[in-house]
Structure 1
Amino acid sequence: MNKFKSGDEVIVIAGKDKGNRGKITKVISDSKRGPLFVVSGVNMVKKHQKPNPNLGVQGGIVEKEAPIAASNVAIFNPETNKGDRVGFQVKDDGSKVRIFKSTKKEIGA
């Protein structure tokens, strides 16, 4: 079980976008740097795009979201309005759930 999933709201704890929040739109787990996340509205970069008339792509400078390392984000706890660490807990029925470390409450419940 992974600590982060697509759709989780995270807060950036390091880097140029420190303090910004957003939802994870894509998880890239097969990276050499460890897991990477594409977070909506965070780590925006400018890409110089060449026009491609076959695909109908217009050229120019396009802003897009670049991946951010897992070590630079923390899951956002709405109860405390801060970033939190993720823990795991096995329920009585044998299922494994993610919990916030500070409040011991289930994530997404």
Structure 2
Amino acid sequence: MAAAKIKKGDKVVVLSGKDKGKTGEVVKSLPKDDKVVVSGVNIAVRHKKPTQGDPQGGLVRAEAPLHVSKVAHVTADGKATRVRFETRDGKKVRVAVKTGEVING
């Protein structure tokens, strides 16, 4: 399996779909499914019946996973960039292709 180019805590922008152009932070990474959950993006609405635990029921809004190919890392100036791996000082690090800056994590 390849190393993850987008990880939990990264700032990303959505490249395609109904939420195109929205930015957010990766809340959860699902590497086995090649998906990520981004805060405030791809909100799914579910209808929940009232139960003993939740007597109110109603509409529940939650963030649904996006495919990792639909998001890109955001640089400091707010633009989308691809990510590559380089070896610096004997360590494998993630580097933004546009700016060359090292990405934390």
Name the aligned partner's letter for residue 104 of structure 2: G
Q: Which residue of 1 aligns with 2:62?
A: 64
CA distance in 1, matches of 2:32, 2:99: 31
- 1:64-83 → structure 2 map (5 Å cutoff): 64-79=62-77, 81-83=78-80
What secondary structure does 1:104 align onto?
A: coil
Per-residue CA shift, 1:8-28, capped at 9, x if unaligned?
010001000000000000111
**2:22 touches 2:41 (CA, 8 Å); kept in 1?**
yes
- The number of equivalent residue pairs is 103
Q: Which runs of 5+ in 2 are unaligned?
A: none
Q: Which residue of 1 aligns with 2:11?
A: 9
CA distance in 1, matches of 2:74, 2:81: 6
1:57 CA drift (Å): 6.3
Q: Which residue of 1 aligns with 2:81?
A: 84
CA distance in 2, matches of 1:58, 1:88: 49
CA distance in 1, matches of 2:88, 2:31: 27
Q: Which residue of 1 aligns with 2:101?
A: 105
TM-score by length of 2: 0.90
TM-score by length of 1: 0.86
Q: Which runs of 5+ in 1 are unaligned?
A: none
What secondary structure does 1:25 align onto?
A: strand
**2:7 touches 2:29 (CA, 8 Å); kept in 1?**
yes
CA distance in 2, matches of 1:76, 1:97: 16
CA distance in 2, matches of 1:57, 1:45: 21
